[in-house]
Structure formats: C-alpha cells, structure tokens
Amino acid sequence: MATKKTTASAKKKAAPAASFSLNTTDFKESILKHLHSTLGTDENKASNRAWAEATAAAANDFVYERLRQTQKAHFEADTRAVHYLSAEFLMGRLLSNNLHNLGVFDAAADALKDLGQDISVILDEEPDMALGNGGLGRLAACFIDSLATLNYPAIGYGIHYEHGLFRQEFRDNRQIERPDEWREYGSPFEICRPESVQQVPLFGYVETVFDETGNMKKKWHPGRVIKGIPWDVPIVGYGAETVNILRLWESRASDFFNWDVFNAGGYIDSQAENAEAEAVSKVLYPNDETEAGKQLRLIQQYFFCACSLKDIIRRYSRAHGNDWSKFSTQNVMQLNDTHPAVAIPELMRLLVDEHDLNWDDAWTICRESFAYTNHTLLPEALEKWDVSLFERVLPRHLEIIYEINRRFLEDEVEVKWPGNDEIKAKLSIIEEGDSRKVRMGHLSVVGSFKVNGVAQIHSELVKKDLFPEYDALFPGKFTNVTNGITPRRWLKACNPRLSALLTEKVGENWPRDLELLRDIAKYADDPAFQKEYMDIKLANKVDMAATILELTGVEVDPTAIFDIQIKRLHEYKRQQMNLLHILALYRRLLENPDYDMNPRVVIFGSKAAPGYKLAKDIIYALNCIAEKVNSDARIKGKLKVVFLPNYRVTIAEKLIPAADLSQQISLAGYEASGTGNMKLALNGALTVGTLDGANIEIAEEAGEENVCIFGMNVDEVQALQAQGYNPWDYYYSNPELKAVLDWLDTDYFTPGKPGELSSIKRSLLDGGDPYMALADFQSYSDAQKDADSRYSDKAGWARAMIINTATMGKFNSDRSMEDYVRDIWKLTKCPVK
Ligand code: CBF
C-alpha cells in the first residue's frame, strides 16, 4: 500500500450542512401538498409513480431555489465558466442522488414511511436517464456532479434524446434491442426553457458577397433551419450550495419553415419536415467506440454544438455586448471526445460571418477557448467524415476547415518541417485518398489549447503513438487528467451499509474528501473491523442474490466468490477471455468434481452495439454456457454463470457493492482508463486486471499485493505485435486452451446445433485474435487461481478489501475536476450564499 498524504484524522470534521433544513414532518407535508396540488391526486389512490413525482417535487422546491441563487451569484460575479460539451450524459436515476446531495434522504425515507410508503419501492419507479453508451457518458455525469459540489460555474451541454440507450432483452439467449422510453410520461427532473430556443441552419450553399466597404464576405444560404429547444436538468452539488444545470437540446421543425409549407397546402410535406427535424434528437447512437458514419450523427453533433455556442454567446453578450476581447477569459469549452469538434469551425463561423471579426482575431479566440479530451486510441473510434458529406450538410464549415488547415500547414507545419510533405500529409486535417475525409481528432488538436488523455499511461500513448508530431509541434499542449468517479453515487448512495460504517470510523466528510478513508487502513488487520466489513459485503451479496433470482431465475450462493465483469461488450475488453476461463473451470470440475476451488458466480452485465455481430455472438455464447453450467448437477453448484439483462447505471449500483472480484482484463494499451474499475475497488473488490488504463494507478494506490495483475504490459504487447503474433502457437501449446476452444465447435452448449458458437473460436484463430486473448490466457487463468486461493484466507481477503476501500481517494472525480481547473480551465470558485 502506498504511504503518503495527510493523516486522515487530522482532517476529520463535520460535512458542511446543507443551507436549509427539512425534517420528516415538513417533508411529509410537502409530499402531501404536491400529491394534491401538483399531481391532482390523493394519498388513498396515488400510484407509486405519483408518490415518486410528489417526492421529487418536494425536493425540487429546494433545488429550484438553490438554482435561482446559483444563477444570480454567477451572473453577479461574472466569473469564467466551463462549458462541458458532450454528446452523452449517462445520468442514471436522479431522485435518490438529489435527496442524498440535498442531505434529506433520511427525512424523505421517514416521511414516506409515515405515509405508508417504502422509499426503495418509490425510487424504483424512476427510469434511468440513459443518454449515453458507457464510460464516456457516465464520466460526464460524474464530472458535472463534482463541479457543482466544488462550487465551480459550469454548464453541461448535450442532446435531449427522446430514446436513450436501447433496452436489452434476451430472446433464445440472443440480445434483442427495444426502444428506451425514459420520458414516456415526462420527467420531473427537467425544465423546458422556451425563452432560450435556438435556430440551427443546415444544408444549402455559400455565396461570396461584398459589404459596403468592399470587403469580401461569405454568406451561407441554408437549405433548412431546425429549432433547438433547451431542457435544463438541475445538477445538485453535494451539500446543495451550488445547483448548476445540464442543458439538453431537443430538435423540432422551425415554425417559420413549417408554417410556410403548411400554408402552401403541403400538410403531408409539413409533417414530413417535422418528422425529419425531430429525428435529430430522437435516438442516441448505440455505439461505443465503434464507427457510426451516418449523416444523422454529424447533424446531431452540429445541432447541439450550434445551439450551445449561441447560448454561450448570448449569455456573454448580455454582460459584454459586442466586446469580444474577454470571450476567452470568460469561457472555456471542453470537447468530450471528438463528437463536439465541429464546434470549432462553428465558433469561427459565428465570429467571422455573423459578428464581423477578422480571421486572426477569431482564430485566437477559438484556440484560447477550446480544450479537448481524448478517450480512446482505437482507430475505428477516431471520427472521420467524408468531405462530400460535410459539403452537403455544412458547406460553410467545410470552407472554414479548409482555411484553418491551409493556414496551419503553411504557417506552422512548414515552419517547423520545411518542405516535408510526408509530415504535412500526416498532420493535415484533411485525409487524402479515394474518398477525402475530415479528421475530427486532428481538428480538435489544432483548434484547442490543451489536449488531455484520461489516465497516465493513456496520455503517454496519445503523445507517443497517436499524435507524436503534434506533440513535437505544440510542446506542453498534451497533458493527463486521470478520470474519477463521484463517491456520492458510487459509495454513499449505492452502499449505505458500508457508508454508515465508514462514517462511524472517519466522520461524515469522506464523501467530499475521499482521502479521509485512508484512516480505515489502520483497522485492516483488526478482526472486529474485518468482521463488520465482511458482514456488510455478505449482506450486499445476499441482496444481489435476490436480484439475480428475480431477474434471471438463477439461484446463487451468496458465500461464493462474486466475480464481476460489467462494461460494454467489445473484443478489446476481452469478455471472450473470461468465457474461455469459465469453460476451463467447468472442464476442470467435470474431470474432477472435487477440484479444489471456492464456489464462484461469474456475473456479466453488458450491451453490445446492435451492428457488432461478434459482440452479440459472445453474449449468446455466454447465455448458452450459463444455461448448461447452471443446470449441471455434476459440478454441485460450484460454478454459476449469470448474464443480467439490460445492464445500466441502476444495475451497476446494485452489483458494485456486492462484488468480490472486478474483471478489468483489456489488452494493455487499449482501455484508455476505465471507471468501473475505480467504483468496484472503492467498494472493496479486488481487481483482476492487466497493466492497462487506470488499473495501473489503482495498483499503485492499493499496492500490488492487493490486486491480481496479469498479462503482457504495453511494451510486451507492442513487441509481440511487431514480431508477428500467431494465436495458433498458443492453441497448439496449451492443451486446456485447445480443448475449450474446440468445445465451442461442438453442440455441447447448443444441443442439436453444432457450430453455433464457432464464430468466437474463428475470431481467435483464423481471425488472428486482434486483442491477443490467447496470448494472455494462461497468465489470466493463473491470476484467477491466485484470487481463488486468496479468498480462502478469510483474514487476508478482508484485509485486501479494506485496503482497496481505504486507498481509492485519488479516484474521486472532485480530484479530476481540480486537476482540470488547475491545468486547463483556470476557474475560480463561486460560492453561493
Ligand atoms: O474516459 C471515459 C471512458 O471513455 C471510454 O469509455 C470511451 O468511450 N472512449 C473509454 O473506453 C474508457 O476507457 C474511459 O474510461
């Protein structure tokens, strides 16, 4: 375990009280008042949903008041603010989170109890707000929670998708996708702001015109204009001093166009136009790090960036009129991946074409205002748009990008590397070839003042492998900010038993200052504390076992090892390697029913992108294997496999407190950071992981002896790739591996249908095993064996879990925010009285 940092006990102090108080009686009255006057119903007939909405409304009385105070304070102080532009915000449920952050969860629970209601049933009414795919969207949600908690002026900007990430069902063991209906009956957590509607131009052509002084100007004649309607979701900081907003844009047909068409007798046409406009914010693209080269996606990206920038400019102009000299001191825009990169040419267009700034001044403002976070090195996820598509949808932006690129190549690249066309081709924002493309990653680097990766190793690889020439050209532009998670949601709210124990030991301020938990390390060898800690883990596992039974019909033993892999399904995350290990265990048990291992439940939660065939095959295979293994009496229940349907934030909140092992088994160099790894370790699980992403930093914090590290490191992976990797070598040299791979070709798991699982074997052998699962298999299997024997040592295991909880302070998203503030955003806090 790392020894450092201030002693926790020195910092022990009471959490700042919320700036209001609400006791059980007041809360009860408020819920009843809202049940009657907001929902128009009565306690004798109210549905669970009505109770939930009345509870939300009672909380909102405080949220809105704090929101008003916050906005007033920000306006009066006129301080610099960060605008977090993100195509995804994976918020999960809001009611429980808001009650916790307001400090009134217990009062609400007691009030509901007095009214004959169970708060857990009421909270279960709320659908997840799943406006994101996975890590990137959930990170954005944690960050805005932390920004509000730390009293920083910040706005999240995104898209108000009508349908978030699809609902996953299993039919005959296969994933099927159903639409998500998170706001079918509206949502009490958002406020429509029609007064801030924006118009968004699209398509059309560009005309060259001359103004009265003879200066040449460009005039864009859009072919269509759609409307962006803002919905504000209040973001309640912990302690509820600051309430910031997340502003999400919904698309609608512009009244002007629609009305014209309608008046001209084209009722059907006007409906079609409505539908087309509304399609823009209709659905979240269900991709995670896979390419989605669709016109609609480019329009989505432009739509929310255009609305957000106009909104930012509107707010700026209210205080500064037409004086642009302070724009970049007042505003910073963070690009969450390349999805909002089109904001760069859009700001140039607004400044040059609409506000008459000259190019150089506008470009200086742009470059001082944007910063970019890279979240992946996977080439397929680094967006590129066909020039022809850009030209059709955003003709003026393409011209601007060409001009940015021309100046960049001539004034910067040529100066640094005179006459070097090879480097110019590499750094050009436009990729030449059969179909020319706009490289959004390049645009983001060129147009930003800082670029950061999301874990130390990832940020190094961004510099070394992804953008080495840019790093040489722009010294100091590239930096690292390791990701984080909010301890409010991911420990305090989701694991109330452990939270209570921690509060008892280190005081109530740890949800803000997670480093305080270091203090519990001193109890790591204390048998009484170990018992308390492990009793809590067991109670959480008992709850989880009930949820598993309810969701899948599978009965599991809560004393077994709960071995959990929860994340999107992708070959680089290597669920297929976990699958091979399950088969190896099963085979060992069949060969020897007394095979020495602790009972184990392997639990998966994961969605596959609907078009990602192999990922869906892996889900199918795991479900088929689960069916067989779970019903095989010969292995005496020593191994169970569970795939929970429709994995989402709410399921994660139940699983994470119950985990013993956290599977973080990506091929080294491919997982930028991971954040599930942080949540699981904070709740005590031991990481079975590769030296990839934030796993490395988790091992540094917890100490190598408290994690199970295996597999090749990045250098070894790159060396093997360079030397020429041949998966068949591993197949022929490892009999167990060969046997489990061959098993996939039989009909053992798919009776009467041999070959149904063969695509997995094929991808690992004929397909070249791009993520080297076979190369790491033996080392993975050894690490799992090591984890199993450690589990048998009850005191040693408890100690390791306690140390994991104690040492995850670094991964508080408040720390990430302070890093961004110090190194990139340069914000000052704006406390709200
Ligand atoms: O940085 C947040 C997360 O982003 C991803 O999910 C992404 O979408 N690129 C990465 O895959 C994660 O490693 C990372 O933690």
pLDDT digits (tens, 9 = 90+) for 614-651: 999 999 999 999 999 999 999 999 999 999 999 999 99
Q: Which of 47, 49, 53 is nearest to 31 (CA)?
A: 53
Residues 458 and 581 in one domain: no
Within a domain: residue 798?
yes
Asked if residue 431 belongs to a domain, the reply is no
Joined tokens for residue 577: 């390697």
Gap from CA of 675 to ligand 1 centroid (Å):
8
pLDDT at residue 677 greater than cutoff 50: yes
430 - beta bridge partners?
438
Spatial neighbors of 716 by CB under 8 A, at least 6 apart, are 668
Across the chain, mean pLDDT equals 95
The answer to whether the CB of 338 falls within 8 A of the CB of 383 is yes
The CA distances from residue 394 to 245, 391, 448, in Å, are 29, 6, 21
The average pLDDT across 139-157 equals 98
Residues 310, 197: Cα–Cα separation, whole Å: 10
Q: Which of 118-122, 276-280, 765-769 shows the lowest per-residue confidence on average (mean pLDDT)?
A: 276-280
Does residue 675 have an active-site annotation?
yes
pLDDT of amino acid 575: 98
Residue nearest (by alpha carbon) to ligand 1 atom 2:
136
* Ligand 1 contact, 375 CB (< 6 A): yes
- DSSP 3-state of 102: helix
Task: Give the pLDDT band (50/70/90) at residue 5.
Answer: very low
Question: Is it the case that residue 257 has pLDDT exceeding 70?
Answer: no
The answer to the question of residue 33 being in a domain is: no
Q: Which residues are bridge partners to 217 per DSSP?
A: 209
CATH of the domain at 542: 3.40.50.2000
CB atoms within 10 A of CB 529: 18
Q: Are residues 254 and 283 in the same domain?
A: yes
Could you tell me if residue 52 is inside a domain? no
- Chain mean position to CA 125: 23
**Alpha carbon 659 to its chain's center:** 20
Any atom of ligand 1 within 6 Å of the Cβ of 134 = yes
CA distances from 218 to 194, 208, 211, 313, 576 (A): 31, 5, 10, 21, 54
DSSP-assigned states of every residue in 663-687: EE-PPTTS-S--SHHHHHHHTTPEE
Clarify whether residues 181 and 241 are in a common domain: yes
Task: Determine, yes or no, domain membership for 24.
Answer: no
What whole-number distance in Å separates Cα of residue 88 and Cα of residue 133?
7
Is residue 48 predicted with pLDDT exceeding 90? yes
Angle at 453 between CA 451 and CA 455, to 5 degrees: 155
454 lines ligand 1 (CB under 6 A): yes
DSSP H stretches of helix in 592-647: 613-630
Q: Is 137 in the pocket of ligand 1 (CB under 6 A)?
A: no
How high is the pLDDT of residue 271?
A: 80
Summarize pLDDT for 723-748 with one digit per residue, the tens.
999 999 999 999 999 999 999 999 99
Together in a domain, 289 and 216: yes
Residue 31 has pLDDT above 90, yes or no: yes
339 touches ligand 1 (CB under 6 Å): no
Residue 4: predicted pLDDT:
42
What is the Cα gyration radius of the chain? 27
Whether ipTM > 0.90 holds is yes
Average of pLDDT values for 284-305? 90
- Phi-psi category of residue 393: left, alpha or beta, with phi > 0 → left and psi -120 to 50 → alpha: alpha
Please confirm, yes or no, whether 568 is among the known catalytic residues.
yes
540 and 460 housed in the same domain: no
**Atom of ligand 1 at shortest distance to CA of 134?**
6
Mean predicted confidence (pLDDT) in 242-255: 95
In angstroms, rounded to a whole number, what is the distance separating the alpha carbons of residues 679 and 689?
14
Residue 193 has pLDDT above 70, yes or no: yes
Say how many Å lie between the CA of residue 63 and the centre of ligand 1: 31
Give yes or no for a contact between 737 and 774, defined as CB atoms under 8 angstroms apart.
yes
Q: 287 vs 707, which has greater pLDDT? A: 707
If asked whether residues 83 and 172 sit together in one domain, one would say yes
DSSP collapsed to 3 states, 48-84: HHHHHHHHHHHHHHHHHHHHHHHHHHHHHHCCCEEEE
Question: What's the pLDDT score for residue 282?
Answer: 97
Assign 3-state DSSP to the chain and report helix, strand, coil percentages, each to 5. Answer: 50, 15, 30
pLDDT band (50, 70, 90) for residue 20: low
Q: Which of 673, 680, 820 to mutate to test the pocket of ligand 1 (most atoms within 8 A of CB)?
A: 673
The minimum-distance atom of ligand 1 relative to the CA of 568 is 6
482 catalytically annotated:
no
User: What one-character-per-residue DSSP string does 136-149 give?
Assistant: HHHHHHHHHHHHHH
Residue 315 annotated to the active site: no
Q: Are residues 600 and 561 in the same domain?
A: yes
535-542: long-range pairs with CB below 8 Å, 24+? 536/495, 536/497, 536/498, 536/501, 537/657, 537/658, 537/660, 537/684, 537/801, 539/497, 540/495, 540/497, 540/498, 540/657, 540/658, 541/658
Does the CB atom of residue 669 touch ligand 1 within 6 A?
no
466 plus 533 within the same structural domain: no
List residues bridging with 642 in a β-sheet.
603
Look at residue 393 and tell me whether its pLDDT is greater than 70: yes
Residue 375 Cα: closest atom of ligand 1: 9
SS (H, E, C) 163-186: ECCCEEEEECCEEEEECCCCCCCC
Instruction: Catalytic residue, from 488, 567, 570, 574: name it.
Output: 567
The whole model's pTM is what? 0.97
Which stretches of 395-455 are DSSP H helices?
A: 395-408, 414-416, 421-427, 440-446
Is there an atom of ligand 1 within 6 Å of 663 CB? no
User: What does the alpha-carbon distance between residue 580 and residue 741 come to, in Å, rounded to a whole number?
Assistant: 7
- CA angle (616 as vertex; 610, 622 as ends), nearest 5: 150
For a ligand 1 pocket test, name from 376, 481, 486 the mutation site with the most ligand atoms within 8 angstroms of its C-beta. 376
376 lines ligand 1 (CB under 6 A): yes
How far apart are alpha carbons 112 and 761 in whole angstroms?
Answer: 54
- Do 740 and 681 share a structural domain? yes
CA 339, distance to chain mean position in Å, is: 14
**How many A from CA of 139 to the centre of ligand 1?**
8
**End-to-end Cα spacing for the chain:** 41
Phi/psi of residue 370, each to 5°?
-100, 145
Mean pLDDT in residue range 22-28:
90
pLDDT of residue 267: 73
Closest C-alpha to ligand 1, atom 12:
674
List pLDDT tens digits, range 112-135: 999 999 999 999 999 999 999 999
For residue 355, the number of C-alpha atoms closer than 13 Å in the C-beta half-sphere is 21
**58 in any annotated domain:** no
Only one residue has tokens 């009505």, namely 50
Q: What gap in Å lies between CA 360 and CA 691, rounded to an integer?
A: 45
Ligand 1 centroid–CA 673 distance in Å is: 6
The answer to whether residues 701 and 560 belong to one domain is: yes
Q: Is the pLDDT of residue 582 over 60?
A: yes
Contacts of 661 (CB under 8 A, 6+ apart): 561, 562, 563, 564, 685, 686, 687, 688, 708, 787
Does the C-beta of 136 come closer than 6 Å to ligand 1?
Answer: yes
Check whether residue 476 and residue 510 sit in a common domain: no
AA identity, residue 415: V
Spatial separation of the C-alpha atoms in residues 467 and 246, rounded to whole Å: 32
Residue 525 phi, psi (nearest 5)? -105, 5
pLDDT band at residue 10 under the 50/70/90 scheme: very low
The 10s digit of each residue's pLDDT in 699-728 is 999 999 999 999 999 999 999 999 999 999
Q: How far is CA 647 from the centre of its chain?
A: 14
* 537 is known as an active-site residue: no
Share of the chain above pLDDT 70, in %: 97
> Which amino acid is residue 205, in one-letter code?
Y
483 lines ligand 1 (CB under 6 A): yes
Rounded CA gap, 81 and 66, in Å?
A: 18
Give the residue whose CA is nearest to atom 4 of ligand 1: 136
- CB of 673 closer than 6 angstroms to any ligand 1 atom: yes
Question: In the structure encoding, which two tokens stand for residue 769, read together?
Answer: 């095993």
| Domain assignment present for 423 | no
689 pocket-lining for ligand 1 (C-beta < 6 Å): no
Tokens coding 452 = 């950061």
Q: What range defines the domain where residue 184 resides? A: 78-93+128-381+447-483+818-825
**Could you report the per-residue pLDDT of 198-229, keeping only the tens digit for each?**
999 999 999 999 988 888 999 999 999 999 99
Answer yes or no: do 582 and 659 share one domain.
yes
* pLDDT over 70 (residue 785): yes
Q: Provide the percentage of residues in the chain whose pLDDT is more than 90.
A: 92
Output the CA angle 668-672-675, nearest 5 degrees: 110
Phi then psi for residue 462, to 5 deg, are -60, -45
CA dihedral 706, 498, 552, 745 (to 10 degrees): -10
Asked whether residue 107 is domain-assigned, the answer is: no
Active-site residue, 607 included:
no
Tokens of 359: 């190019």
- Would you say 597 and 608 are in contact if contact means Cβ atoms under 8 Å apart? no
Interval between CA 141 and ligand 1 midpoint (Å): 13
Task: Enumerate residues 6+ apart whose C-beta is below 8 A from 223.
Answer: 202, 203, 204, 205
Number of folded domains that form the chain: 2
CB contact at 8 A, 73 and 832: yes
Of residues 573, 607, 640, 648, which has the active-site annotation?
573
Question: Is the Cβ–Cβ distance between 80 and 826 less than 8 Å?
Answer: yes
Binned at pLDDT 50, 70 and 90, residue 268 comes out as confident
| Ligand 1 atom with the shortest distance to the CA of 483 | 1
Q: Which amino acid is at 239?
A: G
pLDDT bin (cut points 50, 70, 90) of residue 292 is confident
Query: Among residues 568, 638, 640, 810, which one is catalytic?
Result: 568
